[in-house]
Each structure stands twice: as structure tokens, then as C-alpha cells.
């Protein structure tokens, strides 16, 4: 079956408000990507092209050269790049064989632009995260 | 539309990418190439997505090629005259079975969609979705390989400039050795033979991938191309210019005594 497992995508907050059918459409757009230990997954300051969800393995994270908590199976990163393609805010390096599912800006943008329901679901999710970040009740 | 074709039938840049079409022109022009196939961007996309039928078709299409294989990107706007994409995309060497080609194709798709590739595209003003074709060819086991400019890329002089080293040409392309340097006048007269320092040769591993072999001390500073082979390289340069036009950047290899063309593209930078 092409794409990422639906039940995995359902766990991503950005897609939490989407219905079953829309989740399945998003899941099909994901492509598997593998990194070897020591390989750079994202580099701080570099343009961001994709959102990644870790299926297995571990990665270390640093911001401004300072270590941050590592990433492991089930974690995800880079979702904001899907919307604005902005620079990566952290350097992520695989510390073991790392298997991810990735979704690129190029694949995601047409889906959102062509489907108001998906766009609305994303807006709701983003607003929820904004309120949470500002400490407001949701 | 056919999405997998023999190199000789790769004709449309927008479908197969400039590298595949360039190699297709070479085959049609009678130039000596290792056998191979071109994959259209659309089937590369399907393979990267994990579509089983596409993966099966690709494996079947390369099953007649002698292994090992080299799998190379052929992005639609790659190797253009205005902006060289050299190094932005991926070449995977020494793929041992047709079944492993699908995974290599997926890696190539990601190389065209990596953060560094996207950053590069933004820097040169390309904001369109990357489309990447793929070329799959039999991988030679060359005694010597390298690059050749049909016109001096530094000063524009009308002479061939050749850099060569032992083993696979990646040692020269990736600047892992100081290659031998040769210059040949358009008349065929050899103008310069300067030995380099070739401490390593890149070779294929039986289980896939490559390794760096230490070059025996007596060969490190010995010229790796004979005058007779320089004559054949000069003839190859002349034929490439007839097929493609002037000022070409050529990758070549000599295996079992035969000279092969691996890649021929326009020189993207010429100094003044």
C-alpha cells in the first residue's frame, strides 16, 4: 500500500481535525525515506522542504549548537515547513538507522488548495496550537 | 506515453530529463555508451510513492542489463546551460540486482526533494516542483576514467583538457585525487602530459556500493592514459561536438580496452 499508515498520520496534531477520508488522502502522499547513522536529516538555517514522521530509529537534535531532546519512533518534525517552506530551526542528525515517512511542500500544497475541508481542518488544528502556545483555554 | 524507454528513445527533456535525453542523443549518434534505460519523472514519482506495479515494471525493465548497475538522476532542469545542478542530485553506483533499483530510484527522488536541493532551487530562482527522471545503466569496471572538456574551460583555448585517474571516475569528479592532466590541440597534437598524485582508486564492491582502493606506489605518479588512448579520447571529443555542438563537458571510462562515453553536457562555466 503506497504512502504512510493512516493510523500513524492520525497521531499528528496538524492532521488531528481531519476526517477519515481526508486523512487517507494525506497518508497516500507520504513517501518513505531512510537515513543512515550520522546522516544529516535537517540543517538549521537551510530551506525546509518536507515534514517527517519517524517510523523507527533515533535522531539527535541541536539548536544553535545546543542539544535538545532526541527524536524517536512516533515523533515528527518540520510540519510548519509544509505551509511556509521557511528555514529549518534545528539540526537533526540520525543516530541509528532512521526510517521516516516524508511529505513535501509540493505534494501537500495542491491538496490543501484544492480541498476546502482539508484547509478548514488544518486551520482548526493550527488555531488550537496557537491558543495552546499562548496559554489560552481551547 | 511510455514511461520507461531504452536510452536511444529518450527524446523529451520535459519527460526524461536532460541527462537521459543527452545520452539518448549519444546512442542515436553512434557514440559508445554502456547499455541503459531512461525512466520518466512520472514513474519515478510512482516508485517513490511505493506503487508496487511501478516498482515491478522498473525491475523488469532493467532485468536484461548486465549488472552491476549505476542509477543516476536526470532532473528536468538539471545540467542546463544557465545553472549547473551538478552535485545537487544523486548517483548511486554498484546496484547489484534489478530488485534493488526501486529503492535507489526512491533515494534519487528524495535527493531532488531534499532541503539542500530546495535551498539551491530557491537561490537560483526556481520555485516550481522538482521533477526528476532517472537513468539506469550497466556500471563499468574501468581501469581508468575521468573527465574531458572539448574546449579549455578556464581560458577558452581551442584544445581538449583531460583529467584522468585509476578506477571509477568518481575519484576525479569528487576531487579525491590529483588527476593526471592532459591537453590535446584540435589537430590531435598532445600538448601536455602532467602526472597527478593518485593515491586511491574507487572500485565496486561485490555486495554493492564502492570502496577506496590504495593505488600501488609505482602507479600513483605514473600516467594512467597512453598516447594511443589519448588519440581515441580526442576522436570521442570530435564526435561529441559533431553530435551535440561545441564546448562539451564529458565523463568517460576505459574498461576492457574499450572507451565509453558516460555523460556529455554543455560546459556551464567558462573563465575569461
Give yes or no: residues B114 and B195 share one domain.
no
Q: How many CA atoms lie within 13 A of A50 on its CB side?
A: 28
Q: Is there a domain that residue B232 lies in?
A: yes
Give the residue-averaged pLDDT of A98-105.
92
Domain boundary, last residue among B93, B118, B138:
B138
Give yes or no: residues B227 and B250 share one domain.
yes
Give yes or no: residues B158 and B124 share one domain.
no
* B213 alpha carbon, distance to own chain's centre: 21
Residue B243 has pLDDT above 80, yes or no: yes
**Which CA distances in Å does B126 have to A50, A102, B83, B184, B265?**
17, 22, 10, 38, 21
A48 contacts B118? CB cut-off 8 A: yes
Q: Which residues of B touch A (CB under 8 A)?
A: 48-52, 106-107, 109-110, 113-119, 122, 129-130
Give yes or no: residues B12 and B107 share one domain.
yes
The DSSP output letter for B256 is T
Q: Whole-prediction pTM value?
A: 0.81
- In this predicted model, what pLDDT tens digit does every residue of B62-121 receive, in sequence order? 999 999 999 999 987 644 444 445 445 688 988 999 999 999 999 999 988 888 777 777
On chain A, the residues whose CB falls within 8 A of the CB of B106 are: 31-33
The Cβ of residue B119 has, within 10 Å, a number of other Cβ atoms equal to 18
Q: Where are the beta strands (DSSP E) in B40-81?
A: 69-75
Nearest CB among A33, A47, A104 relative to B119 is that of: A47
Output the pLDDT for position B252. 96
Minimal Cα distance from B127: which residue of A?
A106
Q: Is there a domain that residue A22 lies in?
A: yes
CATH number at residue A43: 2.60.120.10
Q: Is there a domain that residue A116 lies in?
A: yes
The Cβ of residue A123 has, within 10 Å, a number of other Cβ atoms equal to 12
On chain A, the residues whose CB falls within 8 A of the CB of B107 are: 34
Q: A66 φ, ψ to 5°?
A: -100, 135
- In this predicted model, what pLDDT tens digit does every residue of B187-230 receive, in sequence order? 999 999 999 999 999 998 877 788 999 999 999 999 999 999 99
Q: Is there a domain that residue A1 lies in?
A: no
User: How many angstroms separate the CA atoms of B151 and B146, rounded?
Assistant: 16
B8 or B78, which is more confident = B8
Please say whether the beta carbons of A112 and A121 come within 8 A.
no
CA distance A42 to chain B (A): 7
Output the pLDDT for position A89. 86
- Could you tell me which residues are beta bridge partners of residue B192? B183
Output the pLDDT for position A107. 86
Least confident of A43-52, B181-190, B215-224: A43-52
Give yes or no: residues B20 and B121 share one domain.
yes
Domain boundary, last residue among B100, B116, B138:
B138
* B190 alpha carbon, distance to own chain's centre: 25
Output the pLDDT for position B123. 75
Residue A44 has pLDDT above 50, yes or no: yes
Cell of A7: 493510523
On chain A, the residues whose CB falls within 8 A of the CB of B116 are: 43, 46
**Domain count of the fold of chain B:** 2
**Domain count of the fold of chain A:** 1
Domain containing B21 equals 4-138
Q: Is there a domain that residue B272 lies in?
A: no
Q: Is there a domain that residue B248 lies in?
A: yes
Length of chain A, please? 138
Domain boundary, last residue among B100, B120, B138:
B138
A2 contacts B50? CB cut-off 8 A: yes
Output the pLDDT for position B62. 97
Q: What is the mean pLDDT of chain B?
A: 90
Amino acid at each position: 500500500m503506497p504512502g504512510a499508515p493512516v493510523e500513524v498520520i492520525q497521531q499528528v496534531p496538524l492532521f488531528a481535525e481531519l476526517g477519515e477520508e481526508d486523512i487517507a488522502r494525506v497518508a497516500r502522499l507520504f513517501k518513505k525515506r531512510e537515513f543512515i547513522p550520522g546522516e544529516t536529516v535537517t540543517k538549521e538555517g537551510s530551506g525546509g522542504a518536507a515534514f517527517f514522521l519517524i517510523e523507527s530509529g533515533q535522531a539527535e537534535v541541536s539548536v544553535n549548537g545546543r542539544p535538545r531532546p532526541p527524536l524517536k519512533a512516533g515523533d515528527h518534525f518540520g510540519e510548519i515547513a509544509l505551509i511556509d517552506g521557511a528555514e529549518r530551526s534545528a539540526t537533526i542528525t540520525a543516530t541509528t538507522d532512521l526510517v521516516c515517512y516524508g511529505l513535501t511542500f509540493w505534494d501537500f500544497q495542491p491538496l490543501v488548495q484544492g480541498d476546502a475541508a482539508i484547509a478548514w481542518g488544518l486551520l482548526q488544528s493550527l488555531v488550537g496550537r496557537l491558543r495552546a502556545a499562548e496559554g489560552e483555554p481551547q | 506515453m511510455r514511461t520507461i524507454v531504452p536510452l536511444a528513445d529518450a527524446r523529451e527533456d520535459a519527460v526524461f530529463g536532460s541527462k537521459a535525453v543527452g545520452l539518448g542523443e549519444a546512442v542515436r549518434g553512434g557514440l559508445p555508451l554502456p547499455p541503459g534505460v531512461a525512466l520518466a519523472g512520472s514513474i519515478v514519482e510512482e516508485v517513490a510513492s511505493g506503487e508496487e506495479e511501478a516498482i515491478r515494471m522498473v525491475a523488469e525493465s532493467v532485468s536484461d542489463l548486465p549488472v552491476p548497475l549505476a542509477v543516476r538522476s536526470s532532473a528536468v532542469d538539471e545540467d542546463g546551460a544557465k545553472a549547473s545542478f551538478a552535485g545537487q542530485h544523486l548517483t548511486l553506483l554498484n546496484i547489484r540486482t534489478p530488485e534493488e533499483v526501486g529503492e535507489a530510484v526512491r533515494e534519487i527522488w528524495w535527493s531532488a526533494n531534499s532541503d539542500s536541493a530546495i535551498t539551491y532551487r530557491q537561490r537560483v530562482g526556481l520555485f516550481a516542483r522538482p521533477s526528476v527522471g532517472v537513468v539506469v545503466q550497466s556500471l563499468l569496471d574501468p581501469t581508468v576514467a575521468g573527465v574531458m572538456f572539448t574546449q579549455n574551460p578556464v581560458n577558452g583555448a581551442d584544445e581538449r583538457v583531460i583529467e584522468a585517474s585509476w578506477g571509477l571516475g568518481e575519484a576525479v569528479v569528487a576531487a579525491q585525487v590529483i588527476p593526471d592532466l592532459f591537453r590535446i590541440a584540435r589537430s590531435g597534437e598532445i600538448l601536455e602530459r602532467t602526472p597527478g598524485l593518485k593515491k586511491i582508486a574507487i572500485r565496486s564492491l561485490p555486495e554493492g556500493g564502492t570502496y577506496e582502493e590504495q593505488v600501488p606506489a609505482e602507479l600513483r605518479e605514473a600516467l594512467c592514459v597512453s598516447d594511443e588512448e589519448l588519440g581515441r579520447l580526442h576522436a570521442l571529443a570530435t564526435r561529441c561536438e559533431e553530435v551535440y555542438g561545441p564546448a562539451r563537458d564529458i565523463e568517460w571510462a576505459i574498461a576492457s580496452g574499450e572507451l565509453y562515453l558516460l555523460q556529455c553536457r554543455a560546459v556551464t562555466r567558462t573563465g575569461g
